[in-house]
C-alpha cells in the first residue's frame, strides 16, 4: 500500500522565522516525491521534486527538502518565511510499476507579520 501523511494541517510562523512542513510516506517501491504549493484561488505549482538523485533537493523560492529513506520522510524547509509563502502545501508520492499517485491532505501555512 502507498500513503502520504502530512503531520500538520495548519502551521503558523512569524515572518523571518524558519518554516518546517512535515511529510511521511509509505511505499513498497522506490518513490519519487514532490512538494506542490497552492496559493488561494490558484492552481498547483511544483516547488521541488526528488527522483532518486541527490537526497537534499532545492526548489523555488528558497525552499528545500531532504529525502530520508530510513525515516520515510520528506520534510519541506525554508530558513526564513516571507508573507508571500502563505499558501497550502501538498506532499505527493509517485511509485510502483504503475506509477501510482498519492497526495497528502495538505498543510496550510500562515505567516504572521
Partner 1 sequence: DADVTQTPRNRITKTGKRIMLECSQTKGHDRMYWYRQDPGLGLQLIYYSFDVKDINKGEISDGYSVSRQAQAKFSLSLESAIPNQTALYFCATSDLTSGGYEQFFGPGTRLTVL
Interacting residue ranges for partner 1, rule: CB under 8 A? 9, 32, 34, 36, 43-44, 46, 49-52, 90, 92, 94, 99, 101, 103-106
Task: Provide the minimum distance between the beta carbon of 15 and partner 1 in the complex, in angstroms, as a whole number.
Answer: 25
94: cell is 509517485
Task: Provide the minimum distance between the beta carbon of 19 and partner 1 in the complex, in angstroms, as a whole number.
Answer: 19
Q: How many CB atoms lie within 10 A of CB 46?
A: 12
> Which CB atom, from 21 or from 106, has the smaller least distance to partner 1?
106
> Which CB atom, from 51 or from 110, has the smaller least distance to partner 1?
51
Cell 501523511 identifies what position? 5
Q: How many CB atoms lie within 10 A of CB 60?
A: 10
> Which CB atom, from 12 or from 51, has the smaller least distance to partner 1?
51
Give the integer Cα–Cα distance in Å for 88 and 79: 18
Question: By three-state DSSP, how is residue 84 classified?
Answer: helix
Phi-psi region at 97: left, alpha or beta (left = phi > 0; alpha = psi -120 to 50): alpha
Task: Provide the minimum distance between the beta carbon of 77 and partner 1 in the complex, in angstroms, as a whole number.
Answer: 20
Task: Provide the minimum distance between the beta carbon of 47 and partner 1 in the complex, in angstroms, as a whole number.
Answer: 11
Fill in the DSSP letter of residue 27. Answer: -
> Which CB atom, from 14 or from 52, has the smaller least distance to partner 1?
52
Amino acid at each position: 500500500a502507498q500513503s502520504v501523511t502530512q503531520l500538520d494541517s495548519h502551521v503558523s510562523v512569524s515572518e523571518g522565522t524558519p518554516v518546517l512542513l512535515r511529510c511521511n510516506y509509505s511505499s513498497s517501491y522506490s518513490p519519487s516525491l514532490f512538494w506542490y504549493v497552492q496559493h488561494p484561488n490558484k492552481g498547483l505549482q511544483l516547488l521541488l521534486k526528488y527522483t532518486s538523485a541527490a537526497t537534499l533537493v532545492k526548489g523555488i523560492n528558497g525552499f528545500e527538502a531532504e529525502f530520508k529513506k530510513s525515516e520515510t520522510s520528506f520534510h519541506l524547509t525554508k530558513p526564513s518565511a516571507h508573507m508571500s509563502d502563505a499558501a497550502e502545501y501538498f506532499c505527493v508520492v509517485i511509485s510502483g510499476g504503475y506509477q501510482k499517485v498519492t497526495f497528502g491532505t495538505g498543510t496550510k501555512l500562515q505567516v504572521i507579520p
